[in-house]
């Protein structure tokens, strides 16, 4: 009986077999389109019932297989497939189970590009996409129809970080024979085990924490045994593939994921706690904080927190807000997250149709990188103080403001 290993040990050793690759510690980068057979018998044996062309580089290499096997083990699922971006993983996971005339439910807090895909592209395929309030839990049963094929969940939600009662949603969804798909990018499989909570299809934008260095675009979808044939065929029919160099970078990143994610999470909570006490911050949106509306669900279902959260600023003139953002030295202004560097992203009010949230001030999404926490705190404090100083001058001497 093998000893049960801790996550950091499993991810260091999983997906590797040096003896098969000349003793190389890391899986080599296999580049190639043509895969030769040494006999007709071998050529015929490689054919698959639904894909006679399986022996071809588009369907993966040993580098690809190593990543897919490692992620399947992380997720606790049946099989995984890689995609060229996180959004590609989201869209193809959705398309894999939907047909013309089907109905799909998505949370109002879903990732913006996924929302746009559901509203615009699915409509062209005669698929009805409906958005629901993310907090409704088992109340999702009232929205399920005879033709509901998929319920999509994302926790915490993009932008406002609302939590969802995923086991309750899954229980109701499975009663009508529909699938549950989840965007699990924020927590990764280290901090949320999707298949233990009723999810059938788990999606990750591996661009974020799995790669971890902001140098590759990658998505991955893992399914249970029931969902695998649909995902596999759908991805192959659309010709989805990814270059081996990016896959290699993901394998490299995963080896240190437990250590990185722990620091991301700890720093993120410390920054969130500090910002919750600042006079210019109206609200902090982070489910690991006890005062957050979703904290109870996070504490029940999740094993940790990543470094991504958001704040709502108090109303202030645009120049004061610009002072705060522009005076930051350690936080870059940019999209994405999950890399080693800290980021801020000024955001517009989220698009909502089933729930409402109208922030009074600007929203800023914050990603806590791997810099020293004290340095990041000091950087935020000095930038916020610059905005305060601007407001004081504007109040006392309006003519002095340029």
Active-site residue, from 115, 149, 193, 208: 208
Residue matched to tokens 């059938």: 200
Residue 183 is a catalytic residue:
yes
HEC per residue, the chain? CCCCCCHHHHHHHCCCCHHHHCCCCCCCCCCCCECCCCCHHHHHHCCECCECCCCEHHHCCHHHHHHHHHHHHHHCCCEEEEECCHHHHHHHHHHHHCCCCCEEEEECCCCHHHHHHHHHHHHHCCCEEEEECHHHHHHHHHHCCCCEEEEEEECCCCCCCCCCCHHHHHHHHHHCCCEEEEECCCCHHHHCCHHHHCCCEEEECCCCCCCCCCCCCCEEEEECCCCHHHHHHHHHHCCCCCCHHHHHHHHHHHCCHHHHHHHHHHHHHHHHHHHHCCCCEEEEECCCCCCCCCHHHHHHHCCCCCCEEEEEECCCCHHHHHHHHHCCCCEEECCCCCCCCEEEEEECCCCCCCCCCCCCCCEEEEECCCCCHHHHHHHHHHHHHHHHHHHHHHHHCHHHCC
What was the pLDDT predicted at 1?
43
pLDDT digits (tens, 9 = 90+) for 210-261: 999 999 999 999 999 999 999 988 888 888 888 999 999 999 999 999 999 9
Residue 208 is a catalytic residue:
yes
Model-level pTM?
Answer: 0.92
Beta carbons within 8 Å of 82's beta carbon, 6+ residues apart? 60, 64, 67, 68, 206, 218, 219, 220, 242, 247, 250
Q: Give how far the C-alpha of residue 95 lies from the chain's centroid of Cα atoms, to the nearest Å.
A: 18
What was the pLDDT predicted at 399?
57
Active-site residue, from 58, 145, 175, 299: 58
d(CA 133, CA 356): 9
Active-site residue, from 16, 79, 111, 152: 111
What was the pLDDT predicted at 297?
98
Q: Phi and psi of 310, rounded to 5°? A: -140, 160
Which regions in the chain score pLDDT beneath 50?
1, 402
Beta carbons within 8 Å of 112's beta carbon, 6+ residues apart? 158, 159, 350, 351
What was the pLDDT predicted at 203?
98
Active-site residue, from 165, 183, 200, 301: 183
What was the pLDDT predicted at 110?
96
What was the pLDDT predicted at 31?
87
What was the pLDDT predicted at 401?
52
Q: Give how far the C-alpha of residue 38 lies from the chain's centroid of Cα atoms, to the nearest Å.
A: 42
d(CA 299, CA 392): 41
Residue 326 is a catalytic residue:
no
Residue 348 is a catalytic residue:
no
What was the pLDDT predicted at 2?
60
Domains of the chain: 31-59 (no CATH), 61-254 (3.40.640.10), 257-400 (3.90.1150.10)
d(CA 57, CA 59): 5
């Amino acid at each position: 009986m093998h000893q049960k290993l801790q996550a950091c040990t499993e991810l260091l050793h999983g997906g590797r077999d040096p003896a098969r690759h000349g003793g190389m510690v890391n899986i080599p980068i296999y580049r190639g389109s043509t895969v030769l057979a040494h006999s007709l018998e071998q050529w015929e044996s490689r054919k698959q019932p639904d894909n006679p062309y399986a022996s071809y580089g588009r369907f993966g290499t040993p580098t690809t297989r190593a990543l897919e096997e490692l992620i399947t083990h992380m997720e606790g699922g049946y099989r995984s497939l890689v995609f060229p971006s996180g959004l590609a993983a989201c869209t193809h996971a959705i398309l894999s189970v939907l047909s013309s005339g089907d109905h799909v439910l998505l949370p109002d807090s879903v990732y913006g590009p996924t929302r746009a895909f559901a509203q615009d592209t699915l409509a062209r395929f005669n698929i009805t996409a409906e958005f629901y309030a993310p907090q409704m839990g088992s109340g999702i049963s009232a929205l399920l129809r005879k033709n509901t094929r998929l319920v999509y969940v994302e926790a915490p939600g993009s932008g406002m970080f609302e939590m969802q009662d995923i086991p309750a949603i899954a229980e109701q969804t499975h009663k009508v024979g529909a699938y549950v798909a989840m965007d699990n990018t924020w927590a990764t499989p280290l901090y949320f085990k999707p298949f233990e909570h009723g999810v059938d299809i788990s999606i990750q934008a591996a661009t974020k924490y799995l790669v971890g260095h902001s140098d590759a675009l990658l998505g991955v979808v893992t399914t249970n045994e029931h969902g695998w044939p649909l995902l596999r065929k759908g991805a192959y029919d659309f010709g989805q593939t990814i270059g081996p160099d990016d896959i290699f970078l993901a394998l490299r990143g995963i080896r240190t994921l437990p250590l990185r994610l722990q620091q991301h999470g700890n720093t993120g909570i410390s920054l969130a706690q500090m910002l919750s006490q600042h006079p210019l911050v109206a609200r902090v949106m982070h489910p690991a904080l006890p005062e957050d509306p979703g904290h109870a669900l996070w504490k029940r279902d999740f094993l940790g927190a990543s470094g991504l959260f958001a704040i709502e600023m108090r109303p202030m003139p645009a120049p004061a807000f610009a002072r705060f953002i522009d005076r930051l030295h350690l936080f870059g202004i940019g999209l994405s997250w999950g890399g080693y560097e800290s980021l801020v992203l000024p955001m517009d009010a989220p698009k909502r149709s089933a729930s409402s949230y109208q922030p009074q001030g600007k929203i800023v999404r914050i990603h806590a990188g791997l810099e020293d926490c004290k340095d990041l705190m000091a950087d935020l404090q000095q930038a916020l103080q610059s905005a305060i100083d601007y407001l004081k001058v504007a109040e006392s001497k309006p003519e002095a403001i340029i």
